[in-house]
């Protein structure tokens, strides 16, 4: 078998750009614009003169299987020249757009001595289909021509062709679209185009005239009939054995004889001036050989049209590679009161099929790898296809220093993109981290958002997803196994048994042999641990190597949670498969006895790690409750790692949303004040979330992730809650699982109820009861709110401004918040430097509750920003730590322990001094002391230890004297006590609008 691809049948041909539904240059005047045609017929044309009793007008005769005559070439010359010239011009235009790729035509034939994919004469249907499927998936091939005997052109073979490569138009799908009149994606068979060309250019115009089709009961005849009629002629059909054949032929202005080449029609049957074309099968077969008659002028025309179809196919393919405007179909929400549980809300909404969502946002079918109905991996080839596409706006969602209950950054992120896409009709993408199983099965629950701002299906988001964390677990534990196996082999085998591949191993000294084959890992300095994706506290410290087969190689080690693996941080920071492989190779797993770092590349496992992670590197596409797109990818911790979703998800989202993505089609369904306002909403957004407070997740996003990605943010959305602000303003501590202190809820309920006719309200309250409600401001906690705003909220806004990025404060409103509290937060936030501050009720209302936030983000994104890093990457490690401590946390200085200083010296010696810093500290305070709320000052930040993730590319100092690497796993407290206490006051809720 020989594979070859014909680049051009006419030498550098191309076509004019074609308007859908318009006319292809080179086609007859009314011939519709269509792609290519079938390969199961051949035209050999010969012009002839015939005389009848009616006169001596010339008759155009087309015969099959006879040598080409000089007059044949003369008749076809004009059409052939036009087709070739127009194809050349179109090809030149396409090459100016994309010079790196040229249209390619692949031909499959049986025992024909031409450039081809040559199959044996006795090849099976399966072998032909196999070749077709290979060509279907070859991105270099833009057209496939099946030059096969009719017996081999089975329905299975024909329909194996991809419609977009079926340049002969022979598949059922192509033919069906052609007959139905759906001409935007089909190819007109080259034979049909040639026949139409000759009919159109006949001496006597055939507009409104009759053309008789004799024979041709198959698809070719039907296609000819349809296109003849669409070109203004009247098409009649007749069988070869019809008794009225002679009469019909004599009355026709044009006659097309299909098949039955052994049947001759007397010239006297044709009326003077009639156009006569005979078409026959392309291959004539017998038991011994396949004949290939000499090529006539019309066959050249058919070949030229086929080549033009290849160029059309290439043009369509090139067009598909361009950015596609979104056609997002949002899902409707019907929020209920009271708000049901998250799982009830999730299950009540039917997500769109993921392939539909992908098509709506401009992804190609080949760029999607579906995992069931509602989620799919997206291939990184999208970045290559859209590399010239300008990015959308880059929005980071961060938060103030949270309570142990969390303040709702994920929920705000989802509510914001629902408002942008589903309500304001602006392209937007949410990029979220993947949750681990530990918190999901603990009391915290998942991370899909909440209320009416969720990613769905909730269960699939929180459980396994597409297996990325399992891939990380396997890769991490492969490294751990390789470490122990290497130490075992080095301890129990001689150097001679390990083998040396070198030109002259005998010349190596014993020390050189040892250096060549031994890593000599120090068991006490191995930093790599095994991981598991479920909190199993009894595995935190373990002893391995106790089996007799391990020959006494016993050591202590332990397990981390899977998302704490350095491989997770690498997944989040890599920008390609090659970059990920390089980072995996650089991971330091321990130190040798000679104080040299030992890497995964030294262990020889970096290639295996890349193979395990080859699918995990692709982001997972999902959707929100309102059908807007979400990328879920990576989930590094925000303490020992940088706490952000992947660089690749952000880059893909920024390309897909585009720059000018206003997709609204009408103003009636948009929640805006005027058409003029709508016209100003021209931004598109990729919205990503940073873990913990802005002092941790946001700072690391800027200094680590933005350095790795090269991306620059446009807006920071800073999430705050009245609850957290009261805590920072001097309120009592909040503990997960315990009832909220009265300071956090009393503002709503401290009211004076006065009733004229009874003293036991509300049990006896009726619809006629007159109620007056007043708020006792003297008993409110507004001072706590103000204190939190002027301390922690103000400091977090200032941190964002250190990086030159505008801030929009999103107040995540709870049903216990009063209007006075909400207004106060928004007022002070703007006084503290926020571009805007707006309340958000997305938890209860979905995207509709975030419309004002979306407008504020859009306005802030359209203002110029001056992003800058906090420190120069070449600064000494100690100075980078000090800069973060003083400018971000508000510390006076830092204090390095002896161990920390020794580590810094070691990292400088190894050449790691230019890596960014990833501070590992408590998220419950700006300082290292969890109980210090607000914006502490006057403290010295202690650095207990300094470690390095060389593969991920950062140094992480451990902050505090008793640093604990643990993450809160407590669930947000539900206001059950309040509900129980107030259950008899439901009528009050209806009257005053409590939420």
Q: What residues act catalytically?
A: 409, 411, 433, 444, 638, 692, 814, 843
Nearest Cα neighbor of 564 from 643, 617, 631 is 643
Q: Helix axis angle, 877-884 relative to 898-909, nearest 10°?
A: 130
Contacts for 773 with CB less than 8 Å, ≥ 6 apart: 751, 752, 753, 992
Structure tokens at 225: 């009939």
* CA–centroid distance for 434 within its chain: 15
Q: What is the 3-class SS of 511-523, one letter each residue?
A: HHHHHHHCCCEEE
Answer yes or no: are the C-beta atoms of 187 and 227 closer than 8 Å: no
* CA–centroid distance for 394 within its chain: 16
What gap in Å lies between CA 950 and CA 601, rounded to an integer? 12
| Kind plus residue range of the DSSP H or E element containing 689 | strand 685-689
What gap in Å lies between CA 703 and CA 870, rounded to an integer? 7
Residue whose tokens read 């080179």: 26
Contacts for 349 with CB less than 8 Å, ≥ 6 apart: 331, 333, 456, 625
Task: Give one DSSP letter per residue of 693-704, joined into a string.
Answer: -IIIIIHHIIII
Q: What residues form DSSP beta bridges with 719? A: 399, 810
| Kind plus residue range of the DSSP H or E element containing 396 | strand 393-399
Q: What Rg, from alpha-carbon coordinates, does the chain have? A: 37
234 exposed, middle or buried (CB, 10 Å; 0-12, 13-18, 19+)? middle
Nearest Cα neighbor of 295 from 48, 64, 627 is 64
Q: How many CB atoms lie within 10 A of CB 601?
A: 17
Q: How many CB atoms lie within 10 A of CB 177?
A: 20
Strands 275-281 and 254-258: parallel
Nearest Cα neighbor of 634 from 689, 690, 572 is 572
Contacts for 895 with CB less than 8 Å, ≥ 6 apart: 940, 941, 942, 943
- The dihedral through the CA atoms of 360, 364, 365, 368 has a sign that is negative
Could you give the 3-state DSSP secondary structure of residue 644? strand
Task: Give one DSSP letter per residue of 712-748, joined into a string.
Answer: ---EEEEEE-HHHHHHHTTPPP--TTSPPPGGGTHHH
Answer yes or no: are the C-beta atoms of 797 and 805 closer than 8 Å: no
Structure tokens at 192: 């049909």
DSSP secondary structure code for residue 966 in this structure: -
What gap in Å lies between CA 545 and CA 526, rounded to an integer? 15
Phi, psi of 75 (to 5 degrees): -65, -40
Answer yes or no: are the C-beta atoms of 620 and 647 closer than 8 Å: no
Answer yes or no: are the C-beta atoms of 606 and 581 closer than 8 Å: yes
Contacts for 785 with CB less than 8 Å, ≥ 6 apart: 722, 725, 726, 729, 821, 824, 825
42-64: buried (b, 16+ CB within 10 Å) or exposed (e) per residue? bbbbbbeebebeeeebbbbbbbb
- The dihedral through the CA atoms of 585, 586, 589, 591 has a sign that is positive
Task: Give one DSSP letter per residue of 316-346, joined into a string.
Answer: HHHHHHS-------PPP----SS---HHHHH
């Amino acid at each position: 078998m020989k594979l070859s691809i014909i680049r051009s049948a006419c030498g550098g041909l191309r076509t004019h750009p074609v308007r859908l539904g318009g006319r292809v240059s080179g086609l007859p005047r009314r011939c519709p614009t269509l792609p290519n045609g079938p390969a199961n017929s051949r035209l050999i044309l010969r012009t002839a003169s015939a005389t009848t009793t009616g006169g001596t007008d010339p008759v155009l005769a087309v015969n099959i299987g006879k040598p080409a005559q000089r007059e044949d070439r003369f008749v076809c010359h004009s059409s052939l020249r036009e087709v070739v010239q127009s194809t050349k011009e179109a090809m030149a235009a396409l090459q100016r757009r994309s010079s790196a790729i040229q249209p390619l035509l692949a031909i499959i034939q049986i025992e024909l001595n031409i450039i081809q994919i040559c199959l044996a004469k006795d090849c099976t249907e399966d072998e032909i289909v196999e070749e077709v499927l290979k060509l279907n998936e070859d991105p270099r091939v833009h057209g496939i021509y099946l030059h096969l005997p009719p017996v081999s052109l089975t329905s299975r073979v024909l329909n194996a062709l991809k419609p977009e490569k079926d340049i002969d138009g022979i598949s059922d799908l192509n033919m069906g679209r052609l007959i139905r009149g759906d001409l935007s994606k089909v190819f007109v068979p080259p034979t049909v185009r040639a026949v139409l060309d000759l009919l159109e250019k006949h001496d006597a115009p055939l507009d409104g005239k009759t053309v008789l089709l004799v024979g041709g009961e198959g698809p070719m005849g039907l296609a000819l009939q349809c296109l003849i009629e669409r070109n203004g002629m009247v098409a009649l059909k007749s069988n070869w054995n019809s008794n009225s054949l002679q009469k019909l032929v004599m009355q026709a202005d044009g006659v097309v004889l299909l098949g039955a080449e052994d049947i001759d029609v007397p010239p006297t049957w044709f009326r003077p001036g009639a156009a006569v074309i005979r078409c026959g099968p392309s291959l004539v077969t017998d038991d011994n050989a396949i004949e290939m008659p000499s090529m006539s002028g019309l066959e050249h025309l058919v070949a030229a049209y086929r080549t033009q179809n290849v160029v059309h196919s290439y043009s369509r393919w090139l067009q598909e590679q361009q950015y596609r405007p979104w056609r997002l179909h949002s899902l409707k929400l019907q929020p209920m009161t009271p708000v049901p549980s998250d799982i009830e809300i999730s299950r009540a909404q039917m997500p769109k099929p993921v392939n539909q969502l992908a098509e709506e946002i401009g992804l190609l079918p080949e760029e999607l790898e579906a995992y069931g109905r509602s989620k799919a991996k997206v291939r990184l080839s999208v970045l290559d296809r859209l590399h010239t596409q300008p990015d959308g706006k880059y929005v980071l969602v961060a938060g103030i220093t949270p309570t142990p209950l969390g303040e709702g950054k994920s929920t705000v992120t989802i509510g914001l993109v629902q408002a942008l896409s589903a309500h304001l009709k602006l392209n937007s993408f949410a990029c979220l981290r993947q949750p681990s199983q530990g918190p999901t099965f603990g009391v915290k629950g998942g991370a899909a958002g909440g209320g009416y701002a969720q990613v769905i299906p909730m269960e699939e988001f929180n459980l396994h997803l597409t297996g990325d964390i399992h891939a990380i677990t396997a890769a991490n534990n492969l490294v751990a196994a390789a470490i122990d196996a290497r130490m075992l082999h080095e301890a129990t085998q001689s150097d001679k048994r390990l083998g040396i591949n070198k030109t002259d191993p005998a010349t190596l000294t014993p020390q050189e042999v040892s250096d060549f084959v031994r890593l000599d890992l120090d068991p006490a300095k191995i930093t790599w641990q095994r991981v598991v994706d479920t909190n199993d506290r009894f595995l935190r410290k373990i002893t391995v190597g106790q089996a007799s087969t391990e020959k006494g190689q016993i050591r202590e080690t332990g397990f981390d949670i899977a998302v704490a693996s350095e491989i997770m941080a690498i997944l989040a920071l890599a920008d390609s498969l090659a970059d990920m492989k390089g980072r995996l190779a650089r991971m330091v797993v321990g130190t040798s006895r000679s104080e040299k770092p030992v890497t995964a590349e030294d262990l020889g496992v970096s290639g295996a790690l890349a193979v395990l992670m080859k699918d995990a590197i692709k982001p997972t596409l999902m959707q929100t409750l309102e059908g807007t797109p979400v990328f879920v990818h990576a989930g590094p911790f925000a303490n020992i790692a940088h706490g952000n979703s992947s660089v690749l998800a952000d880059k893909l989202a920024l390309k897909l949303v585009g720059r000018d993505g206003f997709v609204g089609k009408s103003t009636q369904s948009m929640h805006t004040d005027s058409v003029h306002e709508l016209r100003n909403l021209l931004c598109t957004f990729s919205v990503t979330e940073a873990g913990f407070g802005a002092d941790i997740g946001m700072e690391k996003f800027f200094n680590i992730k933005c350095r790795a990605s090269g991306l620059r943010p446009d807006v920071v959305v800073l999430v705050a809650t009245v609850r957290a602000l009261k805590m920072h303003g001097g309120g009592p501590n909040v503990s997960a699982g315990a009832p909220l202190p009265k300071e956090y809820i009393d503002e709503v309920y401290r009211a004076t109820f006065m009733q004229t006719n009874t003293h036991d309200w509300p049990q006896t309250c009726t619809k006629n009861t007159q109620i007056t409600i007043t708020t006792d401001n003297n008993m409110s906690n507004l001072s706590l709110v103000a204190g939190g705003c002027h301390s922690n909220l103000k400091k977090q806004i200032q941190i964002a401004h250190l990086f030159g990025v505008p801030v929009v404060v999103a107040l995540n409103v709870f049903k216990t918040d009063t209007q006075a509290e909400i207004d106060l937060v928004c007022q002070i936030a703007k006084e503290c430097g926020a571009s805007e501050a707006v309340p958000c009720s997305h938890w209860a209302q979905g995207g509709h509750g975030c419309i004002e936030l979306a407008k504020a983000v859009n306005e802030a994104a359209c203002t110029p920003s001056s992003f800058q890093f906090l420190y120069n990457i070449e600064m000494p490690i100690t100075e980078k730590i000090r800069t973060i401590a003083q400018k971000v946390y508000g510390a006076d200085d830092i204090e390095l322990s002896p161990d920390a200083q020794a580590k810094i010296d070691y990292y400088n010696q190894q050449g790691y001094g230019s890596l960014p810093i990833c501070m590992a500290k408590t998220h419950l305070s700006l300082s290292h002391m969890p109980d210090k709320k607000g914006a502490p000052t006057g403290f010295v930040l202690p650095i207990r230890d300094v470690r390095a993730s060389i593969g991920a590319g950062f140094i992480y100092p451990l902050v505090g004297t008793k640093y604990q690497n643990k993450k809160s796993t407590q669930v947000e407290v539900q206001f059950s006590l309040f509900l129980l206490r107030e259950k008899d006051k439901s009528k009050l809720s209806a009257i005053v609008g409590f939420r």
